[in-house]
Amino acid sequence: MQFSSHKVHSLSGAWTLTLSEQPLTATTIDGLRASGAPAYPATVPGNLELDLLAAGEIPEPFHGMNIADLRAFEDFHVAYARTFEWSGEAEGPVFLRFEGVDCFADYFLNGELIGTSDNALVEHEFEVGNRLLPGLNELLVRLRPVPQEATRYEYPAAVMAQGSCWEALYVRKAPHSFGWDIMPRALSVGLWRPVQLIERPVERLDDVFLRTVKADEYQAELSLHVRARLGPVSKDNYEVEITGVCGNSQFTAKKKFLFEATRLPISVDQPLRWWPRGRGEPHLYAVTVRLLKNGHEIDQAEFRHGIRTVRLERTDATDAQGSGAFQFHVNGEPVFILGTNHVPLDAYHSRDRDKVPGFIARLIESGCNLVRCWGGNVYEDDLFYDLCDEHGLLVWQDFALGCALYPQDAEFQARLSAEAVKVVKRLRAHACLALWAGDNECDEAAGWPGFAGGDPNDNALTRHVLPAAVRAHDPGREYLPSSPYISPEAYRHSAGLDALPERHLWGARDNFKSDYYRLTTAHFASEMGYHGCPEPASVARFISPDKHWPPHNDEWRLHATSPIPGVDLYDYRVELMCKQVRELFGTVPDNLDDFAFSSQCVQAEAMKFFVEQFRLAKWRRTGIVWWNLRDGWPQFSDAVIDYYDVPKRAFYALRRSQAPLCLSFREPRDWHLELAACNDTREDIPLRWQVRDLGTGETVLTGERSARADAVTVLGRLPYTASRQTLYQITWQSEQGTGENHTLAGNPPFSLNQYRTWMRELGWQDEGAR
């Protein structure tokens, strides 16, 4: 949101970094120099490790075991400092704004303490107008070590964390940074988002929020909330005026202020509504809100608004008969969700923003209509949500809590509430935002071995604190207490997790067609994935030459990811990847090239199967959000695109399986395979299809029929016996163009050489590793 009257001066760019093993007490740049602590050039936005890398003080953090060696810096004290010029003139209050500071900070302006902060996830502002000097000013930020600050908190018996994440129970920074099974331990510090000096007028728009109350194709009702800073309304005439334009559609309204806060209802005839990908255009209105004083404009806010409604139809429990529900409705229409989980774009978050456009482009290419922003991450840059608005990508937003039993004391509740208010107010204007979720897997964690958390409904954070922030500042938006959510009814249910309509389907990660995956009663999977080795050329970029093969070594384990060398947190994951290859192909290759190829083939078959089994059960099943699109550091993982933006074979398989029209075979039943067309569009699609048996080279099934709109249409059947291994190539033609898919038939193990030959016949040999 842009305010015309706000003058913004960037303080990003060149700073100086001072590093010390002892506490820093200096409040000025001269004091830092006098301390004798070493100083280095720094860049803001940035991170400590990236500045040290640029200065030649450390090697590339992501190569080999280097990231583990950087733990030595966790207990260092750090200071960032710079000077800037100030004109000495301002018509209203002046604020220093830090978009992201990691993490425990003291802020000094011209040697004077102006504030403190203890949250890396949200912005911090300090009014400084009367402390600025005409001419040269000095800004210094001292950062205290996270592990030392974490010891200041009590850890009562009711709290619990996994692995190396105990500090994360109280420290408000991205949970993954303490070490996760998909991210290294990287307790970085720094000014990781921009720093600004902002001049604001005395009389101004302070808080502006436009929301859609209800909408159909004929009319929409909107509500504008405004909090302004005004002079006496009894002396002057203050008004708020709003206009919105999208193509030929326009709306306007005006209201007189009787107080500094007001609400303005707006009606829009024949609105152009915002639709998610595949359902229509994501129309966005260009909106201008003007503050008038005695008829003259004194402030203006500009932003975009998508007119749409989102409803989550949800029950507390379900069963094998599908008596429950977990279904997104947009503008009154049910939408089948094809989504992915969004994990950190980088272990060092100052680099995130530059990677957002590429990530969104890959997201669109994969055929997704929703992205789940996972609770172990930071809250993404505004650019992320702007692009999701523009491209019709729904966003499921977790709050930054994950896989733990968090403190419940009043002080922590207050800190989390303040964080949530800032996050909600920053993101609520986005049409893409479909759902707030309280956390990632904290409900489920209460029942994990060793956690002994009891009833997750006693969690005040997700049952009271977070929903209160959403209700107060984003009324009407859907809220889910946890993912997956265990309600009081579900907690008492005899079926346990099997009763949940929304699940994270991990299990043993064995045969991807095992009963655990095939027979799930869930309507919606919000996590589901399978391992795939990166391209050998990518592996060579982060694993030392003498550690490329065989895989059971310290560098593979660290990048698998087991984040603390010598401590078996997730050491099993390298062997798990080997087991998954052995499950499909009967043996594990003896070299990296063949291993990468076989591992990527297994992942591609698994991810394809997961998506297609959910689509073929539409509307008994209503969506899948698979894990995950892209890695946040170089590793062996479930991601279908590696850290270097190199797709694995699974990415291409998913691109085919998530096409709006997809033909595939259901799992065998009654000695037959059933071919079906899944059509996620609003229109019936006439099509012609052919199925070729690559084992014989024969065309075994052809036909013509219309694929029904928003439905699954059975097209034909083939005889099936589990003892015969083959690969069926499926091709089709329609007004939308041509499409292709394949089905691997028969029981494993398959010959890796035969599979490679089939891929060559399909023309897919160049997808991923070769």
In this prediction, residue 557 carries a pLDDT of: 98
Low-confidence ranges of the chain (pLDDT < 50): 770
* 499 contacts 326 by C-beta, under 8 angstroms: no
In 3-state terms, the chain is what percent helix, strand and coil (to 5)?
Answer: 25, 35, 40
CA-wise closest residue to 620 among 743, 528, 519, 705 = 519
Report the interhelical angle of 352-366 vs 382-391 (nearest 10°). Answer: 20
Helix or strand run (H / E) with residue 471: helix 466-473
541-545 long-range contacts, Cβ below 8 Å, gap at least 24? 541/63, 541/634, 541/644, 542/62, 542/63, 542/64, 542/634, 542/635, 542/643, 543/64, 544/63, 544/64
Phi and psi torsions of 713, nearest 5°: -120, 125
* 722 contacts 746 by C-beta, under 8 angstroms: yes
In this prediction, residue 152 carries a pLDDT of: 97
CB atoms within 10 A of CB 473: 18
* 295 contacts 205 by C-beta, under 8 angstroms: no
In this prediction, residue 770 carries a pLDDT of: 45
Give the tens place of pLDDT for each residue, 589-615: 999 999 999 999 999 999 999 999 999
The 3-class secondary structure across 372-386, one letter per residue, is: EECCCCCCCCHHHHH
Nearest-angstrom CA–CA distance, 45 and 602: 40
CA atoms within 13 A on the CB side of 42: 28
* 689 contacts 743 by C-beta, under 8 angstroms: no
The 3-class secondary structure across 521-561, one letter per residue, is: CCCEEEECCCCECCCHHHHHHHCCHHHCCCCCCHHHHHCCC
Structure tokens at 575: 């062997």
* CA–centroid distance for 1 within its chain: 22
* Strand pairing category for 524-527 and 623-626: parallel
Nearest-angstrom CA–CA distance, 499 and 166: 30
On the 0-12 / 13-18 / 19+ scale of CB atoms within 10 A, 262 is middle
* Strand pairing category for 296-305 and 2-3: antiparallel
CA-wise closest residue to 517 among 658, 583, 448, 613 = 613
Amino acid at 753: N
Amino acid at 431: A
Radius of gyration, CA atoms only, the chain: 28
DSSP letter assigned to residue 46? -
* 747 contacts 723 by C-beta, under 8 angstroms: yes
Beta bridge pairs of residue 339 = 370, 625
In this prediction, residue 765 carries a pLDDT of: 81
Q: Which residues of 398-417 are buried (b: 16+ CB within 10 A; e: fewer)?
A: bbbbbbbbbbeeeebbebbb
Give the tens place of pLDDT for each residue, 407-434: 999 999 999 999 999 999 999 999 999 9
Q: Is the peptide bond before 619 cis (omega within 30 degrees of 0)?
A: yes
CB atoms within 10 A of CB 234: 6
CB atoms within 10 A of CB 154: 9
Give SS3 for 303: strand
* CA–centroid distance for 534 within its chain: 21
On the 0-12 / 13-18 / 19+ scale of CB atoms within 10 A, 448 is middle
- The pTM for the full model equals 0.97
Nearest-angstrom CA–CA distance, 75 and 72: 7
* 630 contacts 359 by C-beta, under 8 angstroms: yes
Nearest-angstrom CA–CA distance, 720 and 232: 81
Structure tokens at 132: 């600025």
Q: Let me know how many helices (H) and strands (E) the chain has, helices first.
A: 18, 40
Give the tens place of pLDDT for each residue, 531-567: 999 999 999 999 999 999 999 999 999 999 999 999 9
CA atoms within 13 A on the CB side of 387: 17
User: 């011209």: which residue's tokens?
Assistant: 110
* 530 contacts 517 by C-beta, under 8 angstroms: no
Give SS3 for 130: helix
* 517 contacts 613 by C-beta, under 8 angstroms: yes
The 3-class secondary structure across 594-655, one letter per residue, is: HHHHHHHHHHHHHHHHHHHHHHCCECCECEEEECCCECCCCCCECCCECCCCCECHHHHHHH
